[in-house]
Amino acid sequence: MPYIAVIGAGSWGTTLASLLAKKGFDVIVWAREKEVAEAINYKKENPIYLPNIKLPESLISTDNILEAIKKARFIISVVPTQYIRSVFTSMKEKLNHKLNNDSIIVSASKGIEKGTFKTPSMILEEIMNKKVYVLSGPTFAIEVAQEKPTAVTISGVGKNERLLLQEIFSTSYFRVYEHDDPLGAEIGGAIKNVIAIAAGICDALELGNNARAALITRGLHEIMRLGKKMGAKEITFSGLSGLGDLFLTCTSNLSRNYTVGYRLGKGESIEQISKSMRSIAEGIETSLSAMQLSIKLNVEMPITNEIYQVIYYGKTPQQAAFDLMARALKPEFY
């Protein structure tokens, strides 16, 4: 059995590590916090990020990242986007040998790096000098951990590697599709978090089902416009990592980003919300990157712009909603 290292022991990293360990793979998960690693090793649970879920006896954890990757045939990064560069650069600098040429890196993070506008796989490829594959789709970690039916995609340039990863991740409850557009998958996975904040605001303001349906639909158009401008394939956005992920994240309070929006809509400040959350809501940082990227590429993204204004300039959610509806009339498709 190949040795698998999962880098990041948040809810999604722990869930993926557990899924793979249940399949019989040798899996080690790197945790930034020593107490998380110890809880996984000795209590077989992650009470901070994945409470009330029993983990496989075979799953082990470490807070030493070099220990995690030293034998790894597969490296799965589940590090929050804004920390990928520091985590993997530090790891690379400490390596006294090159990674196995056969090692395969998979990114399961979602977001856009501030300043560089790079997706998680782009950051990893720059640092590790290897092609990176992307695991994405509509997933709440807790439901996968509870073995509820889920479908995702694995995407990347190599057909053989995609098929291999498809087999590795697939289970009776975790169905994996494959395609060759990792950029589209990552743009969909990043911007949907911004739209989910808007959806949370929409529901908090009790604007109704009509408004939320319109918001999700127009949000998908923003994702498609940006993705196509960056070179992604349009069809990707109608799939699991596009529409599927967007719909899930915009319609449930299990979504951290939806919850951020809901709390903003109820009058809390972004500072209050951020301080109270142990896990990172990627849409907060992504709204800044996406807004700057839309300006750079001259892509119209009005919902993203309003969320950026609410988060970074204190615009009221009520005014943001009003301004979206008051925009100049135009064709639906352009």
118, part of any domain: yes
| Residues whose CB is less than 8 angstroms from the CB of residue 334 and which lie 6 or more positions away in sequence, other chains included | none
Q: Could you give the maximum distance between any two Cα atoms of the chain, in Å?
A: 60
CA distance 144 to 160: 26
* Residue 134 φ then ψ, to 5°: -120, 125
331, part of any domain: no
158, part of any domain: yes
Q: Say if residues 258 and 197 touch (Cβ distance below 8 Å).
A: yes
Residue numbers of the domain that contains 120 = 3-183
Q: What is the pLDDT of residue 102?
A: 82
Give the strand order in the sheet containing 74-77.
60-62, 26-30, 3-7, 74-77, 104-107, 132-136, 150-155, 174-179
| Residues whose CB is less than 8 angstroms from the CB of residue 322 and which lie 6 or more positions away in sequence, other chains included | none
The answer to whether residue 192 is catalytic is yes
Q: What is the pLDDT of residue 1?
A: 64
Residue 204 and residue 98 share a domain: no
Q: Are strands 174-179 and 150-155 parallel, antiparallel or unpaired?
A: parallel
Q: What is the pLDDT of residue 96?
A: 64
Residues of the chain under the 50 pLDDT cut:
none
Q: Provide the 3-class DSSP secondary structure of residue 219.
A: helix
Residue 133 and residue 72 share a domain: yes
Q: List the catalytic residue out of 92, 192, 233, 330.
A: 192
Residue 208 and residue 140 share a domain: no
CATH number, domain at 196? 1.10.1040.10
Q: What is the pLDDT of residue 70?
A: 83
Q: What is the pLDDT of residue 227?
A: 98
Exposed (0-12), middle (13-18) or buried (19+): which is 311, by Cβ within 10 Å? buried
- The model scores a pTM over 0.85: yes
Final residue of a domain: which of 183, 214, 246? 183
Q: What is the pLDDT of residue 97?
A: 60
Residue 215 and residue 125 share a domain: no
Q: Say if residues 11 and 141 touch (Cβ distance below 8 Å).
A: yes
Lookup result for tokens 């979602």: 110
Count of domains observed in the chain: 2
Q: Say if residues 43 and 65 touch (Cβ distance below 8 Å).
A: no
> Using N-to-C axis directions, what is the helix angle for 282-297 and 81-94, rounded to 10°?
100
Residue 94 and residue 42 share a domain: yes
Q: What is the pLDDT of residue 100?
A: 65
Final residue of a domain: which of 132, 159, 183? 183
Residue 280's nearest CA partner among 198, 222, 193 is 193
With the C-alpha atoms ordered 95, 96, 100, 101, is the resulting torsion angle positive or negative? positive
Residue 203 and residue 55 share a domain: no
CA dihedral 117, 120, 122, 124 (to 10 degrees): 130
152, part of any domain: yes
Q: What is the pLDDT of residue 49?
A: 96
Q: What is the pLDDT of residue 71?
A: 83
